[in-house]
Amino acid sequence: MATVKEMKTVTASSQEFHPFDQLSSEEMIMVSQITRQAQPSMDIVFNTITLKEPAKDKMLSFLGWDTSKPRVTKIEREALVIALERPSMKCYEGVVSLDAEKLKSWTYVPDVQPILTMDDMLEVEQMILKDERVIAECRELGITDMSSVFNDPWAIARHVNYPGRGRRLMQALMYMRTCEDDNQYVHPLDFVPIIDVGLMKVIDIEHIKPKNSKFTRPTIPMQQHNFLPEFVGEENYRKDVKPIIVQQPQGVSFKVTGNEIDWQKWNMRISMNYREGLVIHNVSYQDGADKRPLFYRLSLSEMVVPYADRDPIHARKHAFDVGEYGLGLCTNSLALGCDCLGSIYYFDATFNDHNGQPYTVPNAICLHEEDHGILFKHTDYRNGRAHTVRGRRLVISHIVTVANYDYGLYYYFYQDGTFEYEVKATGELNTHVLAEDENPEGYGTLVAPQINAQYHQHMFTMRIDPMIDGNNNTVGQVDVSRVPYPTGHPMNMMGNAFTAKTTMFRDTHEAQAIPCYETSRCWKVFNENNIHPVTKGPVAYKVTSDCQVPLYAQDDSVVGQRAGFAKKTIWVTPYDENQIFAGGFYCNQSSGEDTLEKWAQEKKSVSNTDVVLWVTFGMTHLPRVEEAPIMNCEVLTGVRMAPCNFFMRNPAIDVPPTNKKINQSVDAKSTPAKDGCCSTKL
């Protein structure tokens, strides 16, 4: 089987950073200084400063995967600057060479709005509370203390009264608290300020009017529904929860060198950017003497959370948490023993503020191993001998908070060469106040008196840049069906026959797919240049997803136009370095003109070439009373990729068995047990 022999990575001379490493604090300061010096007449707002990832063709050579030409040993280190000019709020893109210490390009980008940052949201939140019209609205509702008023600034999607992207707009969802640290989402207010961020001014106030009520305006529900310890009360906690202690007394099994990780034959690098958050680079698996490439880049490209209520104001609630807010910018600082359990290795993340100054989120990425139950087992019923091997997985994760919602985002790597991406959705429900006699009209659930938790969906699109045994891959679709012969036919005498058919996607029009229950549909990423010596077919990785739902919004709705990527489960496109984000680079206030759906409309070859696989998964959330005041995690196994006729045998056959002596398991009944379940005869 043709593979690439392991090669050590070359570090570019005069550089202490790997080309995939995100910018350091010092580099961000340098970038902002270089930019200001090159544009002295501009009042610059630094929206984002991030690494400009090197060209893929150069990196494949640098990493040793492309041996068709002399190896690249030096990669220029560049930064991408997205900036706004005050007071016009015009958007500019800049490229800064950190090696040459110069601004290489500075380009005005018309009719776009870049991502909304934490600086934007905090400034808007404070401004709203000082606005006279907002204060007047609160007084009309009986609120005189504005310190009890809170708001969540949201992207505005597209507003019919303010078309286009000439103005940088936001909307604010209003709430109040009855005391410090009270849960604001059970005290929603009925009006929505519209904000011009450039002017930093409230330009309109909209009211969500009752629909099936005798009242013209709802009252504020004042009953508390809280979950923090001081409200629950220590005396009310369960008393029968005993500690579970996760320890690795001999240390961890992984090795970290900078941002490079080695674990159980896996090798990869990680980075964290402002937008996608955690990104996995250059993933390979050691198969004997061969280091076999699997993925060039893995990331969550985009997500959208559309709400179901037909009211035009609620229809604007379809948050693109990647493209409008940035998963990196929303990343939590993780707590040992709470967010991550066991022997933990943390990575920090660095981002910039509007002044171009860096700030660090400590413990932004969590790396650890965890037991994953039985990897394989067999018992010989003849002699009773059982052989059990327990498996473990490497977990690389971060957690983000986007207003009311929290998402745990997990990359799992297994000992048998399998990769999974999982989302754990938690946090609080987005709520809307109803009048005392009003009902949700079939678009939500009353989770408390007057508190409407609206129906909504969560749709996630992963961008998978595969290099399954090489850079040229083909994606195929596998469908299982009965054979077309009735019972008693010579080709189906007993009526039990079924078979599987693989259809190779040869162009972008073919490479658009949705699930099919009737055919147990799945997909595979093939390397047609590597033929497995046993199966006589191309080596592959199988692609499945346990969380498939359709986008229920109409195709021509605003969210349908902007989030076309959510209309299909599978998309395959030829690699394009400018096509990273399924909702477009400038997603904020977009119309959907630069999205994955649009890119796929142009018929292009995706056959045995450098392709990108996009996988969409999600959930339809019909809230329950039990999800208030806080939601338990809803677990979505979004993408699973497993070797399929890739190795010569089970690649985990060499995982050693364990036993109670090694893992210190005990019998809870204190009853003597036999010597072990994992006989080795060694």
Partners of residue 531 on adjacent β-strands: 538
Known active-site residue 405: yes
List the end-to-end C-alpha distance of the chain, in Å, as a whole number: 32
Peptide bond into 672 cis (omega under 30): no
Dihedral pair phi/psi, residue 560, rounded to 5°:
-65, -35
Tell me the one-letter amino acid at 41: S
Tell me the one-letter amino acid at 376: F
Contact 354, 123 (CB under 8 A): no
CA dihedral 129→134→138→141, nearest 10 degrees, is -160
Dihedral pair phi/psi, residue 425, rounded to 5°:
-95, 125
Task: Write out the E strands in 308-404.
Answer: 318-319, 345-352, 358-379, 386-402
Three-class SS of residue 184?
A: helix
> Which listed residue (92, 405, 412, 443) is catalytic?
405
Q: What is the CA radius of gyration of the chain?
A: 27
Q: Is the dihedral of CA 507, 509, 514, 520 positive or negative?
A: negative
Tell me the one-letter amino acid at 317: K
Task: Write out the E strands in 183-317.
Answer: 191-196, 201-207, 255-257, 260-263, 266-273, 277-287, 290-306
> Which listed residue (321, 406, 416, 469) is catalytic?
321
Three-class SS of residue 181?
A: coil
Rounded Cα distance between 375 and 389, Å, is: 6
Peptide bond into 440 cis (omega under 30): no
Contact 334, 364 (CB under 8 A): yes
Per-residue CA distances from 679 to 197, 375, 443, 651, 662 (Å): 67, 15, 57, 20, 13
Three-class SS of residue 258?
A: coil
Q: How far is CA 325 from the centre of its chain?
A: 12
Three-class SS of residue 220?
A: coil
Return the residue matching tokens 């979950």: 227
Peptide bond into 188 cis (omega under 30): no
| Residues 6+ away with beta carbon under 8 Å from 251 | 343
Structure tokens at 401: 């908070």
Task: Write out the E strands in 138-218.
Answer: 149-155, 169-176, 191-196, 201-207
Contact 366, 335 (CB under 8 A): no
Partners of residue 287 on adjacent β-strands: 290
With 0-12 / 13-18 / 19 or more C-beta atoms within 10 angstroms meaning exposed / middle / buried, residue 126 is exposed
Q: How many residues does the chain have?
A: 682
Known active-site residue 610: no
Three-state SS annotation for 607-651: CCECEEEEEEEEEEECCCHHHCCCEEEEEEEEEEEEEECCCCCCC
Half-sphere exposure at residue 410, Cβ-oriented, CA atoms within 13 angstroms:
22
Residues annotated as catalytic are 321, 405
